[in-house]
Amino acid sequence: MVPKTQMLPKFKRRQFVYYSDLIAVLVSRELKLLYKRSLLGIAWTLINPLLQLAVFSFVFRGVLQVSIPHYASYAFSGLLIWSWTQTSLVQATGLITNNRALIRQPGFPIAILPIVTVTTGLIHLLLALPVLLIFLAWEGVPLQPVVLLLPVLLAIQFGLTVSLAYPLAAMNVTFRDTQHTVAVILQLMAYLLPIFYALEQVPESFRSIYTLNPMVPLLDAYRKILVYGAMPAWEGILLLGALAAVLLPLGYRIFKRQSDRFVEEL
């Protein structure tokens, strides 16, 4: 059914260049649109988490008296990391339904769209990273060499997010309220993650349920390398990597199987 392609090395290389160009141009389109449509442009990337940080810091430190060392760095890192996954998933869910033109374009690799969305989110995260560095410096936390593991963690989170984005995007074609449902669930999920509080504050009996959420060990690993300059738990990282390696092809397969009827249902 699919146009047959010869797998000559030269062809493969062109294909690789093509896909990376395609991702780059679509990501930059997203960023440019965001930048052009608003007065504050890219600054929104920072304003949103900073406002949240301000409010939640007041609530958790001022009202609820949470005492976590380097609280600003702790909370802000958690917030950045979670909002990458959260916004990517919400946006990715609406991808197919919002991109009719591209879906109908002959030869367009639809499966690239969720990758574009998650990459866009990653760029927002990277743009906000300097602010985290300022918080770290402000709270007197020196960066340790272990921070070099950051790309590994980012890669794992990238894989996990994309593998969830695939089935959600496909599901939204059949059920148009998937996007709203996902948004609500993820909003609530934010409270069930140790972003503004520590896992240790969660009652013992709930803690094991908490750690079933792959986001929990992931957040922990990020904080270890960024805030505490410590080696994250290896087995946790390996497990997460393995999970991403299993979920990614699975999500992709579901998406692919559904993608044949996207045009029919749009």
Partner 1 sequence: MSPIAVSVQNLGKRFHRFHSNRPRTIMEAALSGWRRLKPTDYFWALRNVSFTVAPGQMLGVLGHNGAGKSTLLQLLGGVGRADEGSIQINGRIGALLDLGASFHADLTGRENVFVSAIAAGLTRREVQRRFGAIVEFAELEPFIDSPLRTYSTGMQMRLAFSIAVHTAPDVLLVDEHLSVGDIAFQTKCLDRIMDLKANGCAIVLISQSAEQICELCDQGLWLNQGQIAALGEPHAVADAYARRMAAKSLPQPNQTYSREIEITGVEILDANHNPTRYISSGEGVTFVITYEVHQPLTDAIFSVSISHEDGQIYFNTHTAIAGLSLPLEIGTGQIILKLGRLDLVSNQYFANIGVFARDWSHTYDYHWHQHAFEVGWTPATGGILHPPQQWEIRQKSSSISV
Least spacing, CB of residue 229 vs partner 1, in Å = 40
Q: Which is nearer to partner 1, 19 or 210 (CB)?
A: 19
Helix or strand run (H / E) with residue 158: helix 150-174
User: What are the CA-CA distances from residue 241 to residues 80, 119, 134, 205, 245 (Å)?
Assistant: 20, 18, 30, 27, 6
CA distance 146 to 225: 6
Closer to partner 1 at the Cβ: 33 or 126?
33
Smallest gap from Cβ 113 to partner 1, in A, equals: 11
Reported as half-sphere exposure (CB side, CA atoms, 13 A), residue 20 has a value of: 5
Nearer to partner 1, 175 or 234 (CB): 175
Closest CB 155 distance from partner 1, rounded Å = 24
Judged by beta carbon, residue 177 or residue 235, the one nearer partner 1 is 177
Query: Closest distance between partner 1 and the C-beta of residue 95, in Å?
Result: 14
How far apart are CB 108 and partner 1 at their closest, in Å? Answer: 6
Separation CA 104–CA 198 (nearest Å) = 47
Q: Which is nearer to partner 1, 26 or 225 (CB)?
A: 26
Which residues of this chain interact with partner 1, rule CB under 8 A?
1-4, 14, 17-18, 21-22, 24-26, 29, 32-33, 36-37, 100-108, 175-178, 181, 260-264
68: CB partners within 8 A, 6+ apart: 74, 75, 197, 198
Distance from the Cα of residue 168 to its chain's centroid: 14
